[in-house]
Chain A
Amino acid sequence: MKAVDCQQIHKSFGEGETRIEVLRGVDFSAAPGELTFLVGPSGCGKTTLISVIAGLLDPDAGRVELFGQEVGKLGSRERILFRRRNLGFVFQQYNLLPSLTAAENAAVPLMAAGMARRKAVDRARALFVKLGIEAKADVYPSKLSGGQQQRVALARALVHEPRLIVCDEPTAALDHTTGEAVMDLLATAAVQPDRAVVVVTHDSRVFHFANSIAHMDDGAIVHMESGAHIPLAVFQ
């Protein structure tokens, strides 16, 4: 079973003369146990596609299945609950809550699911040990470096053990070394046999972490590349 299976996705914004078709019949899939990259120039529709995949945007046409569940058939509340259980997010700007400590930030998905705060924070702390940031558990985001903040964001995406992790430009705000470290963590800690990770990026320096890469341009997938880990040279 595919983790993500998109067929003929169309999405446009605006009406009349201002109407822009952002996705033009996209077919895309991601397999469990793989790190799939979605790459392409700015404005090609990458972010819109992952928003549709994550159930944050409704496509105008086409079908999105996540682990065999057709997202479009879910009601509004069911979709929120599905997202809460099955998806983890890593954002470009981390989007950590500045008034919560790192461990509390990471525990938010568990608290949103109704887990008691103390128990949720304990779970987050245990994950921090795995991610090597246990010393930063009680530190506020403003006191963390960009790489540390992204690790906390990764912990937040992993803490509730989702089946799909969606990352939007996770290395865009980081220097090369830190970006490599974050991607390494993503490849080792996030990818599991029953979990897929989809990463939107145009940072070619980290392409070698990918198991497969979908190239997007002008609202469509123009090229799909698969392999265990794709050598950096292919993209240079």
Chain B
Amino acid sequence: MNFVALRMLTGDRAKYLGLVFAIAFSTFLLENQTSIFAGIMIRTGNQIADVTDAEVWVMDPQTKYFDETKPLKDTDLTRVRGVEGVAWGVRMFKGMPVARTKTGNFYQCIVLGLDDATLVGVPRKMELGHWSRLREPQSIVVDKAGYMLLFPNEPFELGRTLEMNDQQVRIVGISDASAGFVSFPVIHARYSEAVKFQGRERSQMSYVLVHPQPGVTPEQLTKNITAATGLRARTSDEFRWDCIRFYLANTGIPVNFGITISIALIVGAVVAGQTFYLFTVENLKQFGALKAIGVTNLRLVGMILLQALTAGAVGFAIGTGLAAVFFEITAREVATRGLILPWYNVALTAVAIFSVIIVSSLLSIRRVLVLEPAAVFR
């Protein structure tokens, strides 16, 4: 009877396509919006993730997330280095000066100043040039998205100059740094030079990047540092989640995405549910005939579930395919790079969609179960 169930489903082309389209659209919208939301949230901590040399970030106790820092005192570096379990600690500067090109084009940039001696935190993935050239005077590495903003429609080329706070600097490398929350160019420079790119403040050090000694876990080390210095110390993962939580709590992003996701779920549920229910109602006479012929209720339930799951699976596959194509295309765009379709979003959407399908098929099942087979004679 599975054959009969599937032919009943696909035989009514208009309803079948309407049902599949509703499920596909809902799936696409859910996967699309949840993935963009997750991608944007992940972006808030991408600069932290790009630093692979150090496991612990030390900051002022008032610093809540990466983009907004309160400078540390220079002596804090020495204090952190003296904490038990610290293998090494280096300073890091983060500023947001304005960079100008020779043509007059200008953008606010994220400048990361790295320890002069070790260059801890330098981007390891390079599009052009080598990060070690940062040791040259007045040199910077700019990320490729930033380069395309500063020098639109121009080929990647080393040696171009930028001006920041009356300091002229030379591009010695183009990195493949991860996209940040805001699409500003990300510039890496040596600490001693980066601090000059922005108006002088008394304290400049934003972070101390720390590596634990062998046998000391980053989590243990954060506790040691906070206990010994009173400064805030977070592992890279903890700090990334701090950033995500900050944006979740302090921006309208989750509300906006939440509304879209809810609408996608409601519209999908209503349209798919109603279409499937109508499909069953319009076939009641046929179900009644099958009941009269001697098809058991259990078999009819199986038939309806098979129809619902088939329509759901086809719609879900089409919707997921569309979402995959969407992210394949957007991943190639500079502004939307790094936005992907994570497997857990696909899994969550599958749970949501199939829950909707099961609920709507339960309504249909109820209608068929209460149907008297004698109704077929009326």
Q: Which of B285, B290, B377 contacts A50 (CB 8 A)?
A: B377
The residue in chain A whose Cβ has the minimal distance to the Cβ of B294 is: A84
Quick check: B373 and A104 within 8 Å, CB to CB? no
Q: Is there a chain A Cβ closer than 8 Å to B292's Cβ?
A: yes
How far is B288's CA from A117's CA once the two chains are assembled, in angstroms?
21
A108 to B299, CA, bound (A): 13
Q: Are A81 and B8 interface neighbours, CB within 8 A?
A: no
Q: How far is the CA of A57 from the CA of B94 in the complex (A)?
A: 82
Using a CB-CB cutoff of 8 Å, which residues 256-302 of chain B contact chain A?
A: 285-286, 288-290, 292-296, 299
Q: What residues of A have a CB within 8 angstroms of the CB of B372 in the complex?
A: 56-57
Counting chain A CB atoms within 10 Å of each CB, the highest count among B10, B374, B377 belongs to B377
Tell me which residues across on chain B come within 8 A of A50, comparing CB atoms.
377
Bitwise, B151-170 to A at CB < 8 A (1) or not (0) is: 00000000000000000000
User: Considering the chains assembled together, what is the distance between the CA atoms of A81 and B297 in angstroms?
Assistant: 12
With a 10 A CB-CB cut-off, give which of B294, B373, B378 has the most chain A CB atoms.
B294
- Interface residue? B104 (CB, 8 A): no
- On chain A, the residues within 8 Å of B296 by CB distance are 77, 80
Chain B residues, Cβ within 8 Å of A47? 377-378
User: Does B367 sit within 8 A of A, measured CB to CB?
Assistant: no
- In the assembled complex, the Cα of A91 lies from the Cα of B374 at a distance in Å of 11
At the interface, is chain B mostly helix, strand, loop or mixed? helix
Map CB proximity to A onto B1-21 as digits: 1 under 8 Å, 0 otherwise: 101100110111000000000
Residue A202 is within 8 A (CB to CB) of chain B in the complex = no
- Closest residue of B by beta carbon distance from A99: B11
Closest CB in chain B relative to A82 CB, distance in Å: 8
The proximity string for A residues 64-87 relative to B, scoring 1 for CB distances below 8 Å and 0 otherwise, is 000000000000010011011101
Residue pairs across A and B with Cβ atoms less than 8 A apart, 11 shown, are A48-B374, A57-B372, A83-B294, A87-B294, A89-B289, A97-B11, A99-B10, A104-B7, A108-B293, A109-B294, A112-B299
**Chain A residues positioned under 8 Å from B3 (CB to CB):** 111, 117
A 29-62 binary contact with B (CB < 8 Å = 1; else 0): 0000000000000000001101100101100000
Q: Check A91 against B377 for contact (C-beta < 8 Å).
A: yes
Nearest-CB distance from A210 to chain B (Å)?
20
Cβ-neighbour of B285 out of A95, A112, A168 (below 8 A): A95
Q: Which of A51, A111, A168 contacts B1 (CB 8 A)?
A: A111
**Which of A56, A92, A98, A99 meets B373, CB within 8 Å?**
A56
Residues of B within 8 A of A111 (CB): 1, 3-4
Q: Does A100 make an interface contact (CB < 8 A)? A: yes
Inter-chain CA distance A91–B289, complex, in Å, is 9
Interface residues on A, range: 20 to 34
B49 is an interface residue with CB less than 8 A from chain A: no
| Cβ B294 vs Cβ A168 within 8 A | no
Task: Report which A residues bind B (CB closer than 8 A).
Answer: 47-48, 50-51, 54, 56-57, 77, 80-81, 83-85, 87, 89, 91-93, 95, 97-100, 104, 108-109, 111-113, 117, 156, 168
Chain B residues with CB under 8 Å of A104's CB are 4, 7
**Contact status B290-A112, CB under 8 Å:** yes
Q: Would A51 and B377 be within 8 Å (CB), given that A97-B286, A99-B11, A112-B299 are in contact?
A: yes
A159 CA / B290 CA spacing, docked (Å):
15
- Asked if B376 is at the interface (CB within 8 A of a chain A CB), the reply is yes
Within 8 Å by CB of A99, from B8, B292, B295, B378, lies B8
Q: Which residues of B contact A93 (CB under 8 A)?
A: 285
Residue in contact with B11 in the complex, picked from A51, A92, A98, A113, CB distance below 8 Å:
A98
For B4, B12, B285, the residue with the greatest tally of chain A CB atoms inside 10 Å of its CB is B4
Given contacts A95-B285, A97-B286, contact A109 B374 (CB under 8 A): no
Cα distance A57–B371 in the bound complex, in angstroms: 12
Beyond A97-B8, A104-B7, is A91–B376 a contact (Cβ under 8 Å)? yes
Instruction: Return chain A residues, CB-CB under 8 Å to B377.
Output: 47, 50-51, 56, 91-92, 168
Chain B residues contacting A51 (CB-CB under 8 Å) are: 374, 377
Which of chain A's residues have a CB closer than 8 A to the CB of B285?
A: 93, 95
Bound-state CA distance A89–B11 (Å) is 23
Within the assembled complex, what's the spacing in Å between the Cα atoms of A50 and B294? 16
Within the assembled complex, what's the spacing in Å between the Cα atoms of A47 and B299? Answer: 26
The distance in angstroms between the C-alpha atoms of A176 and B3, with both chains bound, is 36
Taking A48-B374, A98-B12, A99-B7 as known contacts, 16 extra A-B pairs with beta carbons closer than 8 A to each other, sorted by chain A number, are A47-B377, A50-B377, A51-B374, A56-B372, A56-B373, A56-B376, A56-B377, A80-B295, A83-B293, A99-B10, A100-B7, A100-B11, A104-B4, A111-B1, A112-B1, A112-B299
Residue of B whose beta carbon sits closest to that of A157:
B293
Interface 0/1 of B307-338, CB less than 8 Å to A: 00000000000000000000000000000000
In the bound complex, what is the Cα–Cα distance between A93 and B289 (angstroms)? Answer: 11
- Say yes or no: A108 contacts B8, CB within 8 Å: no
CB contact under 8 A between A89 and B4, given known A51-B374, A57-B374, A99-B11: no
Partner of B286 from A89, A95, A113 at Cβ < 8 Å: A95
Which residues does chain A contribute within 8 Å of B7, judged by CB atoms? 97, 99-100, 104
Q: Which residues of the partner chain A approach B286 to less than 8 Å between Cβ atoms?
A: 95, 97
Q: Which of B1-47 touch A at CB < 8 Å?
A: 1, 3-4, 7-8, 10-12
Asked if A81 contacts B292 (CB within 8 A), the reply is: no
Interchain CA distance A224-B55 in the complex, whole Å: 98
- Chain B residue contacts of A97, Cβ below 8 A: 4, 7-8, 11, 286, 289
Q: Given A47-B377, A91-B376, A91-B377, is A109 in contact with B8 using a C-beta cutoff of 8 Å?
A: no
